Chains A and B, each alone.
Chain A
Amino acid sequence: MTPRKKRIAIVCSILAGMAIAAALILTAFEKNLLYFYSPTQIVNGEAPTTRSFRIGGLVMNDSVKRNKDTLDVSFVLTDTINQIEVVYNGILPDLFREGQGIVANGKLQENKIFKADEVLAKHDENYMPPEVAQALEEAGADIPHQQYSTAQ
Chain B
Amino acid sequence: MYLPKWLHQFGAPKYFYDLSLCISRWAGIICIICFICGLYGGLVLAPADYQQGDSFRIMYIHVPSAWMSLFVYMVMAIAGGIGLIWRIKLAEIVARSSAPIGASFTFLALVTGSIWGKPMWGTWWVWDARLTSELILLFLYLGYIALQSAFEDRRVAARAGAILALVGIVNIPIIHYSVEWWSTLHQGPTITKLDKPSIHLSMLIPLLFMVFAFKTFYISTLLIRVRSEILEYECNTSWVKQLLGINNGIK
Chain A interface residues (CB < 8 Å from chain B): 4-5, 7-8, 11, 14-15, 18-19, 21-22, 26, 30, 33-36, 38, 56, 92-96, 103, 118-134, 145, 148
> Which residues of chain A have C-beta atoms less than 8 A from B128's C-beta?
35
Of the listed stretches B80-88, B99-107, B210-218, B235-243, name the one at the interface; the rest are far from the partner chain.
Answer: B80-88
B183 CB, min distance to chain A CBs, angstroms: 5
CA–CA, A146 and B198, complex, Å: 16
Whether B123 lies near A129 (C-beta < 8 A) is: no
Q: Does B6 contact A (CB under 8 A)?
A: no
Whether B198 lies near A56 (C-beta < 8 A) is: no
Give the 9 A-B CB pairs with smallest separation, nearest first.
Answer: A93-B122, A129-B47, A133-B50, A18-B170, A127-B199, A125-B190, A128-B200, A130-B50, A35-B128
> Which residues of chain A have C-beta atoms less than 8 A from B203's C-beta?
127-129
Whether B187 lies near A129 (C-beta < 8 A) is: no
- The residue that B51 contacts in the complex, of A7, A95, A120, with Cβ under 8 A, is A95
A151 CB, min distance to chain B CBs, angstroms: 15
Instruction: Given A18-B167, A129-B200, check contact A4 B85 (CB 8 Å).
Output: yes
CA–CA, A100 and B59, complex, Å: 20
Whether B120 lies near A123 (C-beta < 8 A) is: yes
A-B contacts, 10 of them at CB < 8 A, read A14-B166, A15-B170, A18-B169, A19-B170, A33-B181, A118-B122, A121-B120, A123-B121, A127-B49, A145-B51
Whether B52 lies near A123 (C-beta < 8 A) is: yes
Instruction: Given A11-B84, A35-B182, check contact A132 B119 (CB 8 Å).
Output: no
A45 CB, min distance to chain B CBs, angstroms: 18
- The residue that A103 contacts in the complex, of B85, B120, B185, B188, with Cβ under 8 A, is B185
Which residue on B lies nearest to A103, using beta carbons? B185
Contact with A along B111-125 (1 / 0, CB 8 A): 000000001111100
- Which residue of A18, A34, A119, A127 has the most chain B CB atoms within 10 A of its CB atom? A127
> Which residues of chain A have C-beta atoms less than 8 A from B190's C-beta?
125-127
> Which residues of chain B have C-beta atoms less than 8 A from A15's C-beta?
166, 169-170
| B-side interface size class | 35 or more
Whether A35 lies near B50 (C-beta < 8 A) is: no
Instruction: Given A22-B174, A125-B187, check contact A4 B1 (CB 8 Å).
Output: yes
B41 CB, min distance to chain A CBs, angstroms: 14
B207 CB, min distance to chain A CBs, angstroms: 9
Whether B129 lies near A35 (C-beta < 8 A) is: yes
A93 CB, min distance to chain B CBs, angstroms: 3
Instruction: Given A22-B170, A127-B190, check contact A35 B49 (CB 8 Å).
Output: no
B47 CB, min distance to chain A CBs, angstroms: 4
B61 CB, min distance to chain A CBs, angstroms: 15
Whether A129 lies near B52 (C-beta < 8 A) is: no
Contact with A along B131-156 (1 / 0, CB 8 A): 00000000000000000000000000
> Which residues of chain B have C-beta atoms less than 8 A from A148's C-beta?
50-51
Whether B170 lies near A94 (C-beta < 8 A) is: no
CA–CA, A14 and B164, complex, Å: 10
A82 CB, min distance to chain B CBs, angstroms: 16
- The residue that B119 contacts in the complex, of A22, A94, A103, with Cβ under 8 A, is A94
> Which residues of chain B have C-beta atoms less than 8 A from A56's C-beta?
183
B37 CB, min distance to chain A CBs, angstroms: 19
Instruction: Given A15-B169, A35-B128, A93-B121, check contact A123 B187 (CB 8 Å).
Output: yes
